[in-house]
Amino acid sequence: MGACEGKSEAPDSNMSLTWGPQYKFNVMFLCNHNSCRSQMADGWLRTLRGSASVGVASAGIVGGTAVKEGAITVMKDAGVDISSFTSDAMADFRAEDFDVVISCCGCGSKLDGDKEVWKKRTVFMDWNLDDPPAIDPGDLSEYRRVRDECKTKVQELLDMLSRPYGSHYKKNVMFLCNHNSCRSQMADGWLRTLRANASVGVASAGIVGGTAVKEGAISVMKDAGVDISQFTSDAMADFRPQDFDVVISCCGCGSKLDGDKEVWKKRAMFMDWNLDDPPAIDPGDLSAYKRVRDESKAKVQELLDALQKPYGPHYKKNVMFLCNHNSCRSQMADGWLRALRGNASVGVASAGIVGGTAVKEGAITVMKEAGVDISSFTSDAMADFNPQDFEAVISCCGCGSKLDGDKEAWKKRTYFSDWNLDDPPAIDPGDLSAYRRVRDESKAKVLELIQKLAVE
């Protein structure tokens, strides 16, 4: 490998050549010391990814040490040069920069406390590969065995990440139509094109069953720069509703989702777009196809915009954290829920009952220490939100008594609780100890809340 394929010297730089925002997905391989298994996995992914937009880094949970000579040797035997790789510490990376986190050594149990955010990424897996240096008889046979097992797992991971929908996306959308021949195909094509690096997976299917994709749909989408000529027409029966968060009926066919099909309408978000059927009305010049194509594009963009919001109908449950000014406690709780929810379908927002002010620097600092970046959060006013958009409302500061009069609707949601957390700015002695204590108390309460919402 060329010098550009060595590990980044600045793991927190957006200009990293091996991982960063320039990739659709970013994978972190973890091991105790980043000396063997995680290094081999890192090398395999760089080698096998080809043109796939998958970035990769590796690190040691405990810290970095020298890369094992045995790992370098057996990878070189397989045509992969990891001799220039450095052994890095997980503490030098940010969990939020990675979509997929793989524990290569069964060390997931060590990801507790401040490290727990690493287990809450979109995908977390524990491969539990054997440790070659601990069991190698001296002839490198264990290194070779683990090398080959690692290659297989990396290829399986890349295959998974190449699929247009699945657990590697934060949200997955299913577009339905009668036969998956036109409207749902155009919507599918638009979402794949417009999502860019948004973590939104997509599939489309026919409620009645799949037929050939209409040539008119292929033609007008091609005119718009979207190639759906290779798309297949599939049957809804070949998919599982639980794999999708959002289900869109493109053709007004929601009424056909009855009986055993009704589960498709019970996902976190169901919509019926009721787009016209171009083949049924097209006069021969494709004008109906073009009109529906453009309507579909607008609706898909609106959907993507909605899915990027941290709360909304695309989540099964939505939580509002309240405080007087949305400057400290509610901001930390908001940050924790976003970091810890993993794949739980829980949306979140925070606001100030009195109104919003700037987020406290102390809160930003101590949350960053715990691996959670809230520096870009804004301080908002409760008046800018609707209580009916939230199932759970948490008063972080004991301010529930202020929710009277026209504000009382906030206390009437399905779940209301007053955590009564101390106010760090009011009691901090100057060393941020009060901020840290409240940060940790907030984390514990957020974890309890996520568990509670998951079983309700």
Q: Which CATH number fits the domain that encloses residue 193?
A: 3.40.50.2300
Q: In the beta sheet, which residues pair with residue 392? A: 319, 415
Query: Residue 373: which domain range?
Result: 317-455
In a shared domain, residues 36 and 141? yes
How high is the pLDDT of residue 395?
97
Task: Looking at the structure, tell me whether residues 205 and 303 fall in a common domain.
Answer: yes
Question: 195 with 301, same domain?
Answer: yes
pLDDT attached to residue 7: 41
Are 329 and 445 members of one domain? yes
* Boundary-marking domain end, from 97, 128, 162: 162
Q: What is the pLDDT of residue 16?
A: 63
This prediction has a pTM of: 0.82
Sign, CA torsion 134/139/142/146: positive
Show which of 113, 140, 162 is a domain's final residue.
Answer: 162
**Do residue 36 and residue 103 come from a single domain?**
yes
Question: Which pLDDT does position 1 carry in this prediction?
Answer: 31
What residue type is assigned to position 260 of the chain?
A: D
Note the residue count of the chain.
Answer: 456
The residues annotated as belonging to the active site are: 31, 105
Is residue 293 in a domain? yes
Nearest CA to 232 out of 254, 208, 205, 255 is that of: 205
Show Cβ contacts of residue 361 under 8 Å, excluding neighbours closer than 6 positions: none
Q: Which pLDDT value is given to residue 430?
A: 82
Of 307, 330, 346, the last residue of a domain is: 307
* Pick from 239, 233, 237, 174: nearest CA to 200: 174
Judge if 180 and 236 occupy the same domain.
yes
Sequence letter at residue 97:
D
Amino acid identity of residue 35, one-letter, is S
Q: What is the DSSP string of 277-311?
A: -HHHH--SSSHHHHHHHHHHHHHHHHHHHHHTSSS
What pLDDT is recorded for position 137?
Answer: 73
Q: Please tell me the predicted confidence (pLDDT) of residue 356.
A: 66
Asked whether residue 147 falls in the same domain as residue 191, the answer is no
User: Based on the domain organization, do 129 and 211 belong to the same domain?
Assistant: no
**Count: domains in the chain:** 3
Please check whether residues 294 and 350 belong to one and the same domain. no
What is the pLDDT, as a whole number, of residue 210? Answer: 66
pLDDT < 50 regions, the chain: 1-15
Domain assignment present for residue 296? The answer is yes
Q: Is residue 76 part of a domain?
A: yes
Domain shared by 154 and 15, yes or no = yes
209 lies in the same domain as 264:
yes
The answer as to whether 312 is a domain residue is no
Question: Do 176 and 141 fall within a single domain?
Answer: no
The span from the CA of 31 to the CA of 17, in Å, is 22
Angle of helix 183-194 versus helix 287-307 axis, rounded to 10: 50
